[in-house]
Structure 1
Amino acid sequence: MPANEQRQTSELSLSDHLACERTRLAGERTMLAYLRTALGLIAGGCTLLQLFPNQLHMQILSVCLLVVGVALGAIGVERFKTVRAQLRKLMDGSQ
């Protein structure tokens, strides 16, 4: 194998490795965005409960915000785990 082809192969390998690393970091940023949004919804729900304790429609809205916030956080973490497992499988298969 000529030296030129060996260098291209190693560069592709490095390129693939860096692409997986960028994808991993993007997955982390996405999970953090999910969690930030979830915490905002939960905080909004708690705030509505504190500010309007005697109004039924505000209590319903705040409970909805709490439920959606918790669900969104769980979805974000689950998605992160799935993408991380797929990346690990891809990286283990290429080595």
Structure 2
Amino acid sequence: MRRIALVAVVALTALSAGEAQAIRILGHGTDACSVWLRVRTTPQASEYREWMLGYLSASAFHKNKDILRNMTYTQVLARVTTECQRTPTRRLDDVLDGFLR
């Protein structure tokens, strides 16, 4: 639970810093999609899933945009996986930012 809270704080801090500045992201979101594709069926996947959901939840809260309203947990992960399969060199946080557009 502490990890999720930390992710939310990091994400909110990053989002409040403004779009024009370079934002430092900590955690699994800085990994390339290829890493997610490799670990998604291993026990380590839970760390990535929690990071991604925390990032999305904090981003949605900060932007006051209910991006997860009509999506299930499984749908979120499927969308991330599909995007990562298309562009395995892309960073996970970049993929997740696509949910906000």
Query: What TM-score, normalized to structure 1?
Result: 0.30
Larger radius of gyration: 1
Query: What TM-score, normalized to structure 2?
Result: 0.29
- Where is the helix percentage greater, Structure 1 or Structure 2? 1
